[in-house]
A and B are shown apart, each in its own frame.
Chain A
Amino acid sequence: DVKVTQSSRYLVKRTGEKVFLECVQDMDHENMFWYRQDPGLGLRLIYFSYDVKMKEKGDIPEGYSVSREKKERFSLILESASTNQTSMYLCASSGLGLAGRTDTQYFGPGTRLTVL
């Protein structure tokens, strides 16, 4: 089974702190994604990466950055946390299926971040 893990289930930080959210997948997937989940809004894409050291902005990248130094690990960074970044953060990964097309995304358990 595909396994996607996230470093913390719950995290509490103070405004202005630098925050690192880590995600690791064990299936040698090329693509990795960071989503933010808020009630009534569903999930929104922050950043994604289709290869090591490659990244693309999603729909809501402001206030976030990412790092992918190794294929299995994708980090989300909040340079200076703010209260409006209090949310659930979900990581996902996917491989390449038939004819090189992106396959199904598998999700981690999520990190509930609270910024005070």
Chain B
Amino acid sequence: EDKVVQSPLSLVVHEGDTVTLNCSYEVTNFRSLLWYKQEKKAPTFLFMLTSSGIEKKSGRLSSILDKKELFSILNITATQTGDSAIYLCANAGGTSYGKLTFGQGTILTVHP
């Protein structure tokens, strides 16, 4: 059975701090690893990673994948209160790129 595990489960920081969120996976078939941000309702897409060692960046957020060690990290630098959300990691390993196995999420709270 495919498994995705995220750590920590929750994290509280102050504005300006840098955070690293972790995601490890055990899957029978790997297509891609995705990160989503979930505020109140719909998860919104952040990154899709398919190749090891290539960092993807979007503003203060970046992510990288290690396919040998089966993990990914999401970094957020200079955190802001608007970064407070649940960050979800998911593996696309099945018969479709949209059939995802999600981790339980990391709840990030950024205090002013």
Chains A and B bind each other: no
Residues of B within 8 A of A (CB): none
